[in-house]
Amino acid sequence: MEASNQSAVTEFVLLGLSAHPKLEKTFFVLILSMYLVILLGNGVLILVTILDSRLHTPMYFFLGNLSFLDICYTTFSIPLVLDGFLTPRKTISFSGCAMQMFLSFAMGATECVLLGMMAFDRYVAICNPLRYPVVMSKAVYVPMAISSWVAGGANSLVQISLAVQLPFCGDNVINHFICEILAVLKLACADISINVISMGVANVIFLGVPVLFIFVSYIFILTTILRIPSAEGRKKAFSTCSAHLTVVVVFYGTILFMYGKPKSKDPLGADKQDLSDKLISLFYGLLTPMLNPIIYSLRNKDVKTAVRYLVAQKRFTQ
């Protein structure tokens, strides 16, 4: 009978901003606007990397993957968040929640690996330019991108498989906008130490290792750039990796801000702390996908030229 009660949860209630109904319409408009910018910006970036043959290089292939990933990441969660702002009772099925956690986890891990591979691409391009066509041939960079998606999916499958096997004893209210895995694990009525250990190992592999790899790559890159005798040469070399470096700083900087900020010890401020944590987590999921195409458009001459060329070509055909 006890086991039956534990497995009775068939859906979850997403708390969202239920306690702050006056904020829902404001955030609906704000988040919808950001989501449309994400779709437009990343969609244009994918389009130009496909249509402009000058951008058929490893760096822009990885960039196209990153843009596609950002569209997928937000599309799997933001429409549900927007619907929640308009719906009095925000529910999601157990299987739907598991699928959302899987896709969110997979996209996050894949992006970490992709950023590491993009750093390797910049390292080879600047530190070993003569060998670049051989080292980063199509036979190499396509499997690299595929392996990042496979690694992210495999990691997510392990984490979510462990999570869905946990018993849930009736409390099905998730204090979040979406099925965030840590918020879901809090509802389990069993020991979650295995889940915590597994996620810790995954964080080391998919967060720690790429960060270390990117850091070491940029030490070699900066050392090589500083050896270039002319100021114009140094500027040109640095401009080829400045967009990627900016994206890395934004991506990992927001993660550090989310999980590194001190928690309030004032019990009276617990509700405000909860609200701020949820909003920070939500906007983190929107900030990097929105900024990525902007950064690459503003700081990359090739992308700006390709966009102008496609716009001019469109006008000419009309």
Per-residue pLDDT, 157? 94
Please name the residue ranges forming H helices in the chain: 2-6, 21-51, 58-75, 78-86, 94-127, 132-135, 138-164, 181-185, 193-203, 209-226, 231-260, 270-298, 301-317
Q: What is the pLDDT of residues 85-137, one digit of tens each?
A: 887 777 888 888 889 889 988 998 999 999 999 999 999 999 999 999 999 99
Is the pLDDT higher at 297 or at 194? 194
Confidence of residue 267 (pLDDT cuts 50, 70, 90): very low
Q: What is the pLDDT of residues 30-39, one digit of tens each?
A: 999 999 999 9
Does the pTM surpass 0.75? The reply is yes
Q: Is there a contact between 14 and 174 (Cβ–Cβ < 8 Å)? A: yes
